[in-house]
Amino acid sequence: MQHINQVVSQLKVQRDEILAVCEMFTLDVNGDQLPSDTVEFLKKIKDISTEGNISFLVAANHVLEMQQQAKKVSADGYQFDARSYIKQRFGKDPENEAKDSFVGILYNDMPVAYQLGDTRFMSIIEASTHVLRDRLTNGSSSSGCTKNAAEFGAAQERALQAIDVNFFESINWGEGEHPMLLGASTQPQKQLKSSNPKTSTSVKNSPAK
């Protein structure tokens, strides 16, 4: 806890301004005592004020606006708007600026920015699809993923195990086991048993002829 007069002296901000910011952000205030969390937040507002060469209350209003925008983005999803971006970035409404001004020229060039963004987005999607096909075809031995070979190998092992458990072992294939489940050592034995009688029969019939 710190007395509000100490904070006023440290930040060189008026008492009523500190109380106004505390109310604005619903910060904890215990009479004339300010908790450490409240003091730290006030110091951040003061840093923004100093760096931006703006007043303490203006800096607080900027922070509050950004917090509200962040909440709206998280609730409604992010949608880029060129006009809002320029207003926030340069503090001027491009609709009200001359077309030959810096803001006006930048605003008129925004379709190029959209095109570049769409091109980069499509390139990332296309490239990631090729990489996925390469990984599925060649595994982790292909170039560019050697440092993640262990992770790729473990993921592939989990996928194969899931296929065995969820597909081959969970389906009733009728009598006997499915060929994919037979061990390598059992297959030759079954083939030999089925082929031996045919060989012996052919030998017995040959002398009769």
pLDDT tens-digit readout, 89-128: 888 899 888 988 988 898 988 888 888 888 888 888 888 8
Give the sign of the dihedral formed by CA 163, CA 165, CA 170, CA 172: positive
Last residue of a domain, one of 136, 155, 184: 136
**Domains identified in the chain, total number:** 2
pLDDT tens-digit readout, 151-201: 767 777 777 777 666 666 655 555 555 555 555 444 444 444 444 444 444
Do 41 and 110 share a structural domain?
no
Domain that holds residue 107: 80-136
204 inside domain: no
98 inside domain: yes
Give the pair of three-digit tokens for residue 75. Answer: 């609730």
Consecutive H or E run containing 56 = helix 56-76
Last residue of a domain, one of 95, 119, 136: 136
